[in-house]
Structure 1
Amino acid sequence: MSAFDDIRDYVAIPRVLSLKLSPDGSRLISAVQSLNPDGKSYGTALWAIPIDGEPYRLTRSAKGESAAEFTEAGDVLFTSARPDPTVKDATDEVPSLWLLPRSGGEARQVAARPGGVGAFRTAGDVVVFAADVLTGEEAAEEERRKTRKDAGISAILHESYPVRYWDHDLGPGHTRLFAARLGADRLEDVRDLTPDPGEGLRDVTFALTPDGATVISTWRTLLPDAEQRVDLVAIDVATGERRTLFTQEGHDFYGPIAVSPDGTRVACARERLAELDVSVRIDLWIGDLATGAGRTYAPDLFPADVEWAPDSSAVYLAADQRGRRPIFRVPLDGEVTRLTQDDAAYLGLNASADGRFVYALHSGVDRTHGPARIDTATGEITDLPSPAPRPELPGTLTEVSATTDDGTTIRGWLTLPKGASADDPAPILLWIHGGPVASWNDWQWRWNPWIMVQHGYAVLLPDPCLSTGYGQEMIDRGWGNWGPRTLADLDAIVDVVVARDDIDGERIGAMGGSYGGYMANWIAGHSDRYKAIVTHAALWNLDQFAGTTDAAQYWQREMGEPGSERYAKLSPHHGLDSITTPMLVIHGDKDYRVPIGEALRLWWDLQRRNVESKFLYFPDENHWILKPGNAVAWYETVLAFLGQHVLGQEWKRPDSVA
């Protein structure tokens, strides 16, 4: 039996989420997610990974632990909602900051806030952390939160846009940054660095200079017409004085943020804001901390993660490239070189103090995340023992490509079940990635092709227009032309794959989520080659979507104001009368990026046009289906629906949704 045969076994596979290297280079620490004993939820724990030894578990609380950082002394700071054992009848509901001594023993709580402790950074004996704080007198905040709760008040009064983000409501509190000093037992001299931030620190990303003197942080400014701009600011830890470091009209600056070891430069991402005829572009930006002068580096490499070389002469950059995410070395002066030459995707970069190695999470379409060591001189990659061993896959991965009508080469990955051959060709599923500015280049827990491979399907994972890793021109090709241009790209690569003798092109389905769901809906109204279509968290009526998504200003930059020409041209709902393919509609009610109204309208439209269809609805999920039981229901329902329409099996309602 394979872990991909029974979805319950699959959701129980442990998952490595992060990687941090200790200051002395002797060990790594990782947050690992695994199924809780009740089987209904996931928990996280911290694991140590000695450089020359086997991983071992560090923490075991019922609430779980995450966001680990090493102190200069080698102790481990982390966040957890576990109760403080030194406080009588403590029942913490929000995360606080904890310290696990390097020498061993129990972790102790070192900082707590009524609204919880969020992200944090440390340098020397300085700790800076983010916390959600209600407006008003800080000393009375805990009582005011209790009063709201006891009175049953959940209302939030907004005076600016936006009001929610991905899967959570914004407010009534605002994020602030606090600085403190590591004391013997707790954080001492805790100071509010940003007492009146407004929306400035919403969705904040920040870093701390090596001397602990300055915080480098994103800062959001609200503009007229419900627009906004994100700058990078420098905040003095001693005084709280804030100065703008990087700002540029028509651009946002944000994470990943990394400060050079010599404390003189900052590396981050700079995004060109889109317009109707100007596509989004993301660059690596490196600037001087003292003057704010800077420039872009490594054009066409969208930064996914950044780490400085210990001598501050270069940065290591993880960026998408042709279905992979290699590590590149980007010197301040000189040519960009690719460090890793394999097919993997890298994140969580950590450079050793002696400059010999970069440690990173090493993964790919065909491998789960695990720790690896990369030799910076040779590029040699060594897999390290992992807290979560990789499961054996039920098939093989191969690369495919096609030439489109405009002469562009489109490539993708094809997963094949064992035994697929001319004598026994496999049915095929087209899976379209979300984004749309994204790529199929990494392991996917939510959209995992190997489950389908285990059940006999080949899965095509293409990177059409708007995909990253192919230069800016690939994004430009599809900008403001989502449906028609993307469908032409998909048709070209599907034609190549179904011509293979190990693929049964008569048994073919299509799937997609988010932007991929938009394309699934577009395909339904513009093609009849597929036997079944699965559309998850999908855009359907663009005019409706434009005013209800959580980031309407971002959408409007590309598509224009609601009711403009592109809505009429690109909205999938205009193809309703041409839909004959059976469709499975899937959506979570807590999805604020693509609100539930899209699915409700699509479902109603399919029903009133008598299109064979089903609606899998998750009242408590968001853009992603995260709970283990719901993931089981998702995959089992999709497999049953595809089995009926692609394989010709009799419909059987899965037990998980019975």
Structure 2
Amino acid sequence: MKLNFVSTLLLCAVANAGQFDAPPADLPDWSKTQQFTPDHLVAVKRLDALAVSPDNKYAAYTQWMFNRTSNKVGRNIRLMSLSGDYPASDLTTFAFGTSDTSPVWLDENTVAFTAVRGSPASNIFTVSLTDKKISQVSNYTNSVSSLVYSAAAKRIAFISDVYKGLGVDESAEKAEEESNLPYSGVVYDHLFVRHWDTYIGKTRAQLFTVPIDVVDGKYSVTGKPVNLVEKYDGAWGLEPNTVVFSPDGKNVAFDAKIPGREEAWSTKADIFVVPSDGSQAPVSLTPQNPGACSAPAYSPDGTRLAWLQMVTPGYESDRNRVMIYDTKANQVSELDMGWTYSPSSVAFSQDNKSLFHITNYSVDDALFKYDFDTRANTQLTQGSSVYMMSQISSNNVILFANSLSYPNTLFNLNISSKAMQKISTENDALLDPLYLSNAYTFKFKGSLDEDVEGMMMYPFGYDPTKKYPVAFLIHGGPQSSWVRGWSYRWNPNVHSNQGFFVVVINFHGSTGYGQAFVDSIARNWGSHPYFDLMKGLDYFLEQACGADQDRQVALGASYGGYMINWIHGHTDRFKALVNHDGTFSTVSSYYSTEELYFMEHDLGTPWIPEERAQMEQYNPEHYVTNWKTPTLVVHSELDYRLPITEGLSTFTALQRQGVPSKLLYFPDENHWVLQPFNSLKWHNEVIGWIGKYTNTTVWQLTL
């Protein structure tokens, strides 16, 4: 955010200190700068769900806020003019305890959205830009979400959880009947039994469209919802994800994981096309592809449909290839982009001549533009992570971007110059006075004699004549990476503001460095990544002026939690450890997790002898007798990815051996800690733990 700069010597005088590339102007005048704390983190206004008007004159988006006094959250819709000084205002009135979501434009003056607002469930409403009058469009008794609109079709699409053979309202009646049954037992005859944080019931998230038109001066539904996937000839339960109308409104394309007995150990997900009126069954465009397809996007002229496609069965982190479907010739081809990086979303340019894509590239989730004629693949953004985008003119894109020093913020990107103009200000008053450190990248030779990248951040109040503890954060995934992006759960700036140097390493297996780098972690969980982490930390400590080698702590979640347990068995260099939702046993976690395809690809199948041996080779359980370092264990009841037994097993091993340890347990969280007050409690325990063992005064939760 806005900083007042002073000059100071940042690094020790060593020959290669410039590797950290930290100019003196990057640190503020500490006397004029305040600490960023977890209190600020939960107070940030969260912007999301960008929707640009058909005439490209306005942007609608949602704003989430938390009220600490009432312990309530709320979400409303904001409106920004995309001209002049980009004025923004509330389009729907904000109130804690209410939620207006999923904005879509019906015309240049009307935004549709979902909300409850006194109706029996989440329904469709509209708001007028002219007078901000809100009208209710639907009155279903079963909730709807994820709106998509086609002016050409005069239909709005939505998702609703329904029973097999039943419609939206009928499913609400069925749910009421089932809630009154005298027993609670549920019978399963195939996996999944549960997924992420929910036990699988009898309903599925189905895709509906309903006709909508202006009647008596306001939008109304003019027919019954049609289930577009009920005629699918495979196993019942197809659940669409990304949904897009064709420009002429005649068809809807979507991606969906293939349901059935093998769902838990298969990643197969297809791209489907179905008439928007549901008159025919969905047709798969990728029936022979064994991997996961996602993110369909039509060209504005409707002649092409693009999507992302993985080809390796059972591998959720395979490279996303960009596929192009010729809608007239009925032919699919792969777009040769000349690299092995993996886009996460695609969108055609307004003139149909280029393809925008967001791709994890080094430490950025960057926006690129691929030119179909010249095959040039141009990086348009750097230093941030792009979240959503919409082209508003031949040379301008509106996008959400975030970095380590700012949350989701709207920018106007000039495509030619690559200049980004910040146009939203919702969080300026809160964050401008605070220290939000940039990240300084460095590279070193890691495992396999390959370059590995890391980032470091300076502690609040940094003085090169003093020493500071080091917080070593380890990312999960493991096929993920530390990027210059904002996080509400693992935000490195929270730790740097407590007086710690922060170091992160994108070890082998991380994304953003080509597919071979990603693939290298399979069946190697405890080898290449561990080597990279230790060598990268050593490399940092050799160069950073003021980093106290006697006060190092390590923290990690998910795979990062696995690595904390692995580190615990292989080194005593750290003063304290924090294990959040980490694996205790590579074998027991196979039998208790839900997504078996991940375990089978990365670690193996335990009843296959040679694969069992690979699982045991990097099993942290075998090294518990080496555990001596004080450890905080965090785990939650609703974590079905790595169930609570993994955390309890870790805590049991620590307690039984007399290792100083605590367990932080959340009965109402999943693999992530999402509720604001639970986040504050999490930070209180985590920061308190590393502060205690590094003799550092840290933030404390006050109620």
TM-score tier by shorter-chain length is over 0.9
Distance of aligned partners of 1:38 and 1:655 in 2 relative to their CA distance in 1, 3 Å threshold: closer
Shift of 1:411: 1.1
Shift of 1:153: 5.9
1:29 corresponds in structure 2 to 60
**Distance of 1:623 and 1:203 partners within structure 2:** 23
1:379 aligned counterpart, secondary structure: coil
**Distance of 1:3 and 1:264 partners within structure 2:** 54
- Counterpart among 227, 234, 243 of residue 206 in structure 1: 243
Distance of aligned partners of 1:618 and 1:343 in 2 relative to their CA distance in 1, 3 Å threshold: same
1:215 corresponds in structure 2 to 252
- Counterpart among 481, 488, 510 of residue 445 in structure 1: 488
Cα shift readout 1:559-579 (whole Å, capped 9, x = no counterpart): 221251222012211111111
1:411 corresponds in structure 2 to 453
2:158 corresponds in structure 1 to 129
2:581 corresponds in structure 1 to 537
1:46 aligned counterpart, secondary structure: strand
Letter in 1 for 2:253: I
Shift of 1:340: 2.1
Instruction: Kindly report which structure 2 residues correspond to 1:616-631, keeping only aligned pairs within 5 A, or say none.
Output: 616-631=664-679
Instruction: Kindly report which structure 2 residues correspond to 1:238-257, keeping only aligned pairs within 5 A, or say none.
Output: 238=277, 239-255=279-295, 257=296
Distance of aligned partners of 1:3 and 1:624 in 2 relative to their CA distance in 1, 3 Å threshold: farther
Unaligned runs of 5+ in 1: 85-91
Letter in 2 for 1:187: V
1:7 corresponds in structure 2 to 38
Normalised by the length of structure 1, the TM-score is 0.92
**Distance of 1:337 and 1:104 partners within structure 2:** 44
Q: Is 2:469–2:549's contact at 8 Å kept on the other side of the alignment?
A: yes
Distance of aligned partners of 1:338 and 1:542 in 2 relative to their CA distance in 1, 3 Å threshold: same
**Distance of 2:407 and 2:630 partners within structure 1:** 33
Letter in 2 for 1:182: I
Cα shift readout 1:525-553 (whole Å, capped 9, x = no counterpart): 11111111101011111111112112113
Q: Is 1:113–1:131's contact at 8 Å kept on the other side of the alignment?
A: no
Please provide the CA RMSD for this pair.
2.4
Cα shift readout 1:434-472 (whole Å, capped 9, x = no counterpart): 111112111111111112111101111221111111111
Cα shift readout 1:485-539 (whole Å, capped 9, x = no counterpart): 1010111110111122231121110001111111111111111111111010111
Is 2:211 aligned against 1:176? no
**Distance of 1:156 and 1:260 partners within structure 2:** 45
**Distance of 1:359 and 1:162 partners within structure 2:** 39
Is 2:447 aligned against 1:399? no
Letter in 1 for 2:254: S
2:135 corresponds in structure 1 to 108
Shift of 1:237: 1.5
Q: Is 2:81–2:87's contact at 8 Å kept on the other side of the alignment?
A: yes
Letter in 1 for 2:112: L
**Distance of 2:160 and 2:345 partners within structure 1:** 24
Is 2:546 aligned against 1:502? yes
Is 2:344 aligned against 1:310? no
Distance of aligned partners of 1:287 and 1:127 in 2 relative to their CA distance in 1, 3 Å threshold: same
Shift of 1:424: 0.9
Q: Is 1:49–1:386's contact at 8 Å kept on the other side of the alignment?
A: no
Shift of 1:74: 4.1
Q: Is 1:279–1:558's contact at 8 Å kept on the other side of the alignment?
A: no
- Counterpart among 333, 338, 359 of residue 373 in structure 2: 333
Is 2:274 aligned against 1:235? yes
Q: Is 2:50–2:59's contact at 8 Å kept on the other side of the alignment?
A: yes
**Distance of 2:223 and 2:663 partners within structure 1:** 55
Distance of aligned partners of 1:145 and 1:573 in 2 relative to their CA distance in 1, 3 Å threshold: same
Cα shift readout 1:45-86 (whole Å, capped 9, x = no counterpart): 1111211332111222542111111124442121223223xx
- Counterpart among 64, 75, 87 of residue 99 in structure 2: 64
2:332 corresponds in structure 1 to 293
Q: How many residues align?
A: 644
Letter in 2 for 1:573: E
1:87 corresponds in structure 2 to none
Shift of 1:363: 1.3
Letter in 2 for 1:167: D
Distance of aligned partners of 1:460 and 1:330 in 2 relative to their CA distance in 1, 3 Å threshold: same
Distance of aligned partners of 1:241 and 1:271 in 2 relative to their CA distance in 1, 3 Å threshold: same
2:624 aligned counterpart, secondary structure: helix
Instruction: Kindly report which structure 2 residues correspond to 1:606-625, keeping only aligned pairs within 5 A, or say none.
Output: 606-625=654-673
Shift of 1:224: 5.8
Shift of 1:302: 1.7
1:478 aligned counterpart, secondary structure: coil
2:613 corresponds in structure 1 to 565
2:689 aligned counterpart, secondary structure: helix
1:89 corresponds in structure 2 to none
Letter in 2 for 1:174: R
- Counterpart among 406, 414, 420 of residue 462 in structure 2: 420
Distance of aligned partners of 1:377 and 1:200 in 2 relative to their CA distance in 1, 3 Å threshold: farther
2:587 aligned counterpart, secondary structure: helix
Greater shift, 43-52 or 236-245, is seen at 236-245
Shift of 1:24: 0.9
Q: Is 2:116–2:122's contact at 8 Å kept on the other side of the alignment?
A: yes
**Distance of 1:199 and 1:365 partners within structure 2:** 43
Shift of 1:482: 1.1
Normalised by the length of structure 2, the TM-score is 0.87
Shift of 1:391: 1.3
**Distance of 2:356 and 2:546 partners within structure 1:** 41
Shift of 1:381: 1.4
1:187 corresponds in structure 2 to 221
1:573 aligned counterpart, secondary structure: helix
**Distance of 1:544 and 1:105 partners within structure 2:** 55
2:99 aligned counterpart, secondary structure: coil
**Distance of 1:252 and 1:586 partners within structure 2:** 32
2:222 aligned counterpart, secondary structure: strand
Greater shift, 244-253 or 425-434, is seen at 244-253
Shift of 1:168: 2.1
Distance of aligned partners of 1:149 and 1:2 in 2 relative to their CA distance in 1, 3 Å threshold: farther
Greater shift, 476-485 or 105-114, is seen at 105-114
Shift of 1:32: 1.3
1:406 aligned counterpart, secondary structure: helix
2:43 aligned counterpart, secondary structure: coil
**Distance of 1:653 and 1:102 partners within structure 2:** 44
- Counterpart among 261, 283, 291 of residue 300 in structure 2: 261
Unaligned runs of 5+ in 2: 1-31
1:588 corresponds in structure 2 to 636
Letter in 1 for 2:146: A
Shift of 1:222: 3.9
Q: Is 1:606–1:612's contact at 8 Å kept on the other side of the alignment?
A: yes
Distance of aligned partners of 1:69 and 1:415 in 2 relative to their CA distance in 1, 3 Å threshold: same
**Distance of 1:279 and 1:106 partners within structure 2:** 46
Cα shift readout 1:362-391 (whole Å, capped 9, x = no counterpart): 211222110011112222211113333371
Is 2:112 aligned against 1:77? yes
